[in-house]
């Protein structure tokens, strides 16, 4: 107790404590959990009930991107028997531990402390993913521990190599692709300790990396595959590099527009790393950051704005105080420092970055190529304070749907269903088969949401326990896959299939779909497969000639429709019009594409149009539809976000 009082009474600790307290308040008051983390919760829940680390208890699928978080959460939930608040507590604790290391285990000047703290306070990426239920907070802590040891010495001994290797293994266990960041620095440390210690160095490195190595061995034996299912989602997408780069550029532009501070912090850190050429430690870390930033571009970024920038941002700020000679802190009378702080704060407010984003919530939700501020999308439903007030999960109603096999568009929303309910995730993130099938549309997609069509007979196969898939090639592949994910773990045949499935590509990209655009028949099949979606399974049907759509009329709400609805407009007589004029209002986030199917009097699809969405559209009706006539129009949406709301304000056919 005396030591704590002495610590608090020291003047040098007051400013760091102030900023730590401020950051804790900002994180705690808007602490939230993303829907992706609910997938891990279901896996942990099933494990503690004796079913193993599985999302669906009948299939062994590695669904967690962060294996470390999955393991730690399992241990914690064993004692708490609760998942939501437990995960949030782990996230916030890891973030605050990382901030403690930054503020109290590093020597830094007041200038450095204030400068970095301002960036922390106004970085949307850092604050948003300080809770979130994702791996970011553990990344903060592990990299803080790694950097403290890495910059403590210029020459490394055996203990250093073991410690750095152990942290490297845990970093990989937390998120594998961060290998790009840590590997150059870790390799440099090993090379500095290499002289005459070849065998010993190898032993120390393997001993330190053993948690990650053992986990990978476990994954191959238990799951049949070494990587998380999310990896195979992109591996089997056959999307062009140009399409990925286009999404990646949009990801950068989103952060540049809505989270300028985070990119500024990364740039400042990289400047400090390459500004001191005499110390190669800075360069190795800078090379790792640059590789990771290029990797983000290469994979198309993510749909969660700023998610992949938060850890590089933290690393860059953590490294800044190690280079006091950097020009950021070394100009006369701190003129540059003061200007940068003012510009940083002003820019943050102007572009709605950081916590002030709440004041401009609608703008922050605007998406570009599917990138969105995920926190403000879910914060009202899943933030910590809501849970305290209601004492129940806001998505509980979604877990009460009936049916042993259910098809759903977001696996996380079904996390609290009973273990015996099998959830088919249409994006394949939790499904071993869909994730290995080609995409429906390789042009119009949203990163992290790669839509696959269900093979005919697949749902029936899950219900009956027999392979009823109609496509012979897919059926043959499913036999092997079923043996791997559901068969006897230690059978010789299973290990034979594990080798085969890990070394051969499942299907050619044109096996299921010869074109990137959907045909009418494919579109109808997909709609049929999705008819049992919840919570809005029914079509909203309107008689076009009887629709009165004044913009300000209050009863327009009856014409709202959601992501799970398809709006069917019936015409009283066949039309041969050439233009369809539609005026639709959407909520703060929405779809990228609007699909229209025109049906003739025999209820057969005449043609299908897939166009970029805008609120006011004059759509050229395809010649085939005009020629044969149509009396029914189906309007649907693609690449949308959940629970999106659309308001039909104008509908007019023009000859």
73 pLDDT higher than 80? yes
User: Hey, is 80 helix, strand or coil?
Assistant: helix
Indicate the average pLDDT of the chain. 75
* Better pLDDT: 349 or 93: 93
148 pLDDT higher than 60? yes
- Between strands 560-562 and 616-620, the pairing is unpaired
Residue recorded with tokens 């860059």: 316
| pLDDT tens digits along 303-316 | 888 899 999 999 99
Confidence of residue 243 (pLDDT cuts 50, 70, 90): confident
Choose the weakest-confidence range: 388-397, 567-576, 615-624: 388-397
| pLDDT tens digits along 218-235 | 999 999 999 998 888 876
Task: Enter the pTM of the model.
Answer: 0.76
Residue recorded with tokens 């869909």: 434
205 pLDDT higher than 60? yes
| pLDDT tens digits along 452-470 | 777 888 888 888 888 888 8
User: Hey, is 578 helix, strand or coil?
Assistant: coil
Choose the weakest-confidence range: 176-190, 505-519, 541-555, 615-629: 541-555
Q: What is the mean pLDDT of residues 570-594?
A: 63
Closest CA to 569 of 525, 539, 602, 526: 539
Whole-number pLDDT of residue 372: 72
* Better pLDDT: 234 or 169: 169
| Cα separation, 250 vs 394, whole angstroms | 31
Give the chain's domains with CATH numbers: 65-376 (no CATH), 397-503 (no CATH), 536-654 (2.60.120)
Choose the weakest-confidence range: 42-51, 171-180, 261-270, 586-595: 586-595
Confidence of residue 91 (pLDDT cuts 50, 70, 90): very high
The continuous run of DSSP H or E covering 618 comes out as: strand 616-620
378 pLDDT higher than 80? no
Whole-number pLDDT of residue 393: 46
| Cα separation, 392 vs 387, whole angstroms | 6
Length of the chain: 655
Q: b/e map of 520-555 (b: 16 or more CB within 10 Å)? A: eebbbebeebbeebbeeeeebebebeeeeeeeeeee
| Cα separation, 141 vs 525, whole angstroms | 47
User: Hey, is 362 helix, strand or coil?
Assistant: helix
CB 189 within 8 A of CB 161: yes
Whole-number pLDDT of residue 225: 92
Confidence of residue 162 (pLDDT cuts 50, 70, 90): very high
| Cα separation, 269 vs 13, whole angstroms | 24
Whole-number pLDDT of residue 584: 63
Choose the weakest-confidence range: 2-16, 386-400, 548-562: 548-562
Whole-number pLDDT of residue 441: 64
522 pLDDT higher than 70? no
| Cα separation, 619 vs 609, whole angstroms | 9
CA–CA distance from 201 to each of 156, 172, 180, 214, 601 (Å)? 11, 20, 21, 19, 76
Around Cβ 225, how many Cβ atoms within 10 Å?
Answer: 20
Taking phi over 0 as left and psi of -120 to 50 as alpha, with beta for the rest, 602 belongs to: alpha
Highest mean pLDDT among 4-8, 128-132, 146-150: 146-150
Cα 113 to the center of its chain, rounded Å? 31
Closest CA to 119 of 385, 368, 371, 310: 310
- 3-state SS, 143-196, equals HHHHHHHHCCCCCCCHHHHHHHHHHHHHHHHHCHHHHHHHHHHHHHHHHHCCCC
Q: Which residues pair with 561 in a beta bridge?
A: 646
Confidence of residue 276 (pLDDT cuts 50, 70, 90): low
Whole-number pLDDT of residue 323: 75
| Cα separation, 395 vs 401, whole angstroms | 12
Return the percentage of the chain with pLDDT > 90, whole number: 26
């Amino acid at each position: 107790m005396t030591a704590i009082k002495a610590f608090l009474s020291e003047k040098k600790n007051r400013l760091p404590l102030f900023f730590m307290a401020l950051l804790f308040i900002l994180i705690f008051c808007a602490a939230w959990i993303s829907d992706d983390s609910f997938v891990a919760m279901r896996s942990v829940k099933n494990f503690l009930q004796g079913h193993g680390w599985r999302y669906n208890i009948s299939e062994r699928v590695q669904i967690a991107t962060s294996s470390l978080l999955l393991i730690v959460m399992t241990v914690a939930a064993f004692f708490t028997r609760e998942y939501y608040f437990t995960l949030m507590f782990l996230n916030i604790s890891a973030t605050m531990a990382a901030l403690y290391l930054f503020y109290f285990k590093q020597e830094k000047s007041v200038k450095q402390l204030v400068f970095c703290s301002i960036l922390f306070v106004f970085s949307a990426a850092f604050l948003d993913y300080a809770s979130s239920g994702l791996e970011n907070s553990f990344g903060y802590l592990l990299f803080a521990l790694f950097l403290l040891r890495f910059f403590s010495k210029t020459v490394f001994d055996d203990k250093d190599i073991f410690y750095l290797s152990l942290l490297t293994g845990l970093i990989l266990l937390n998120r594998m692709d961060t290998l790009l960041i840590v590997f150059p620095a870790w390799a440099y440390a090993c090379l500095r300790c290499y002289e005459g210690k070849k065998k010993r160095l190898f032993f120390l490195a393997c001993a330190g990396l053993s948690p990650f190595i053992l986990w990978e061995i476990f994954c191959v034996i238990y799951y049949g595959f070494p990587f998380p299912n999310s990896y195979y989602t992109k591996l089997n997408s056959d999307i062009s590099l140009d399409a990925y780069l286009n999404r990646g550029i949009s990801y950068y532009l989103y952060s540049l527009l809505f989270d300028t501070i985070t990119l500024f912090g990364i740039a400042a850190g990289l400047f400090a790393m390459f500004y001191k050429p005499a110390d190669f430690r800075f360069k190795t870390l800078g090379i790792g950051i640059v590789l990771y930033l290029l990797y983000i571009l290469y994979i198309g970024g993510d749909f969660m704005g700023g998610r992949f920038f938060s850890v590089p941002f933290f690393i860059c700020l953590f490294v800044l105080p190690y280079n006091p000679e950097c020009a950021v802190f070394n100009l006369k009378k701190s003129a540059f420092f003061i200007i940068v702080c003012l510009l940083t704060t002003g820019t943050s407010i102007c572009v709605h970055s950081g916590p002030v984003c709440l004041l401009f919530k609608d703008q922050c939700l605007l998406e570009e190529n599917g990138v969105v501020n995920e926190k403000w999308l879910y914060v009202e439903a899943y933030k910590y304070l809501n849970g305290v007030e209601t004492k129940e999960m806001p998505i509980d109603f979604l877990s009460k749907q009936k049916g042993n096999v259910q098809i759903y568009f977001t696996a996380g929303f079904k996390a609290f269903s009973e273990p015996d309910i099998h959830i088919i995730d249409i994006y394949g993130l939790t499904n071993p088969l869909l994730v290995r099938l080609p995409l429906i549309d390789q042009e119009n997609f949203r990163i992290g949401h790669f839509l696959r069509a269900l093979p005919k007979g697949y749902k029936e196969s899950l219900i009956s326990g027999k392979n009823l898939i109609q496509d012979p090639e897919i059926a043959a592949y499913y036999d092997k896959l079923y043996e791997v994910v559901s068969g006897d773990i230690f059978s010789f045949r299973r290990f034979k299939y594990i080798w085969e499935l890990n070394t051969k590509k499942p299907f050619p990209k044109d096996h299921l779909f010869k074109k990137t655009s959907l045909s009418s028949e494919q579109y109808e099949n997909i709609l049929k497969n999705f008819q049992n979606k919840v919570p809005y399974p029914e079509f909203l049907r309107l008689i076009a000639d009887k629709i009165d759509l004044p913009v300000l009329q209050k009863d327009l709400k009856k014409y709202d429709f959601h992501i799970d609805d398809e709006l069917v407009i019936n015409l009283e007589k066949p039309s041969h019009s050439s233009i369809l004029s539609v005026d639709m209002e959407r909520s703060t986030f929405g779809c990228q594409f609007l699909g229209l199917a025109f049906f003739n009097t025999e209820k057969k699809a005449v043609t299908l149009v897939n166009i970029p969405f805008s609120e006011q559209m004059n759509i050229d009706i395809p010649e085939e539809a005009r020629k044969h006539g149509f009396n029914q129009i189906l309007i649907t949406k693609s690449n949308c976000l959940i629970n999106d709301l659309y308001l039909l304000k104008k509908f007019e056919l023009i000859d």
